Homo-oligomer: A and B are copies of this chain.
Amino acid sequence: MKGNEVKGAGGRGESLVLVNGLQADSVNALDRGLHYGDGVFRTIRVVEGEVRWWEDQYRKLAEDCAALAIPCPAREVLEAEARQLAGEPGVGVIKLIVTRGSGRRGYAIQADAAPGRIVMGFPFPGRENIDVRVRWCELKLSSQPRLAGIKHLNRLENVLARSEWAEPDIAEGLLCDESGQVICGTMTNLFIVEQSRLITPELSRCGVAGVARSRILRAAARHGQKAAVEAVSRERLLAADEVFLCNSLIGIWRVAKLDNKTWPDEGGAQKLRVWLDENN
B29 touches A108 (CB 8 A): no
Find out whether the CB atom of B29 lies under 8 angstroms from the CB atom of A153: no
Contact with A33, one of B34, B41, B120, B162 (Cβ below 8 angstroms): B34
For residue A156, give the distance in angstroms from its CB to the closest CB of chain B: 5
Report the separation of the CA atoms of residues A107 and B247 in the bound assembly, to the nearest whole angstrom: 14
**Bound Cα distance A30, B107 (Å):** 23
Minimum CB–CB distance for A36 against chain B, Å: 4
A90 CB → nearest B CB, Å:
14
Question: Which partner residue on chain B sits nearest A154 by CB separation?
Answer: B154
Query: C-beta contact mask, A103-144 vs B, less than 8 Å → 1, else 0?
Result: 011111100000000101010010000000000000100111
Q: C-beta contact mask, A46-76 vs B, less than 8 Å → 1, else 0?
A: 0000000000000000000000110000000
Q: Within 8 Å CB of A24, what residues of B?
A: 26, 29
Count residues of chain A with CB under 8 A from any CB of chain B: 62
What separation, in Å, do the CA atoms of A100 and B93 have in the docked complex? 22
Contact, CB under 8 Å: B106 / A187: yes
Does A84 interact with chain B (Cβ within 8 Å)? no
Q: Are B36 and A9 in touch, CB under 8 angstroms? A: no
Say yes or no: is A81 at the interface (Cβ < 8 Å to chain B).
no
Inter-chain contact B155/A37, CB cutoff 8 Å: yes
Contacts of A106 in B (CB 8 A): 125, 162, 187
Which residues of B have CB within 8 Å of A33?
A: 34
How many Å lie between the Cα of A163 and that of B146 in the bound state?
13
Contacts of A82 in B (CB 8 A): none
A143-185 interface code vs B (CB 8 A; 1 in, 0 out): 1101100001111111111110000000000000010000000
> Given A26-B27, A29-B24, A142-B143, do A153 and B120 touch, yes or no (CB 8 Å)?
no
Contact B34 A15 (CB under 8 A): no
Residues of B with C-beta under 8 A to A34: 27, 31, 33-34, 97, 99, 118, 153
A157 CB, nearest partner CB in chain B, Å: 7
**Listed residue (A17, A99, A142) with the most chain B CB atoms within 10 angstroms of its CB:** A142
> Do residues A153 and B27 form an inter-chain contact, with CB atoms below 8 A?
no
Residues of A with Cβ closer than 8 Å to B? 9-10, 14-15, 17, 19, 24-38, 41, 43, 68-69, 93, 95, 97, 99-100, 102, 104-109, 118, 120, 122, 125, 139, 142-144, 146-147, 152-163, 178, 186-187
Known: A37-B154, A107-B155. 5 other contacts (CB 8 A): A37-B37, A107-B159, A107-B162, A107-B186, A107-B187
